[in-house]
Amino acid sequence: MKNAKGTLVKQLETNTEKTKGKQTVLWDVSKIANGNYTFVITAEDLAKNKSTKTHAFTLLKTNIGKVSGTDVLIRQNASTNSPSIGKLQIDNTVLILNNSGAWYYVQYGKKKGYVYAKYINIIR
């Protein structure tokens, strides 16, 4: 598997013999950063005929956070000058979609926006 820069970041299997049919390989992504990756699968039959397939995907792991303040603003952009699109209350649970410096991009219900990270405690 290669990252967006084409660097090999993980080799799932090599020189393994598989039977005809669908195959599955599991990959632990807990220590891999969010980003764009490409799987490159090469198969060779007994006559030494090779076939290569690639599959691009984006890895986006999410965290769950709890709000640690009252009337915490959700903003359109990662800036205190950005308009507010809603408020969060203490112990509200948010889905953390990404981070941008000192800000988290979160989802709360149907709203998505930026919250200053010091007001969010990651719980998972």
pLDDT at 31 over 90: no
> Among 26-35, 79-88, 112-121, which stretch is predicted with the lowest mean pLDDT?
26-35
User: Would the CA dihedral through 19, 42, 58, 8 be positive or negative?
Assistant: positive
Of residues 97 and 29, more confidently modeled: 97
CA atoms within 13 A on the CB side of 9: 18
pLDDT at 15: 66
Q: Is 96 helix (H, G, I), strand (E, B) or coil?
A: strand
Higher pLDDT, 100 or 118: 118
Q: Where is pLDDT greater, at 73 or 27? A: 73
Q: What is the pLDDT of residues 39-80, one digit of tens each?
A: 888 877 778 888 888 888 777 777 899 999 999 999 999 999
Q: At 67, which helix (H) or strand (E)?
A: strand 63-67
pLDDT for 49 equals 87
Among residues of the chain, what percentage have pLDDT more than 90?
44
Rg (CA), the chain: 21
Give the Cα separation of 87 and 85 in Å (integer). Answer: 7
8: pLDDT strictly greater than 70: yes
Res 50: pLDDT: 86
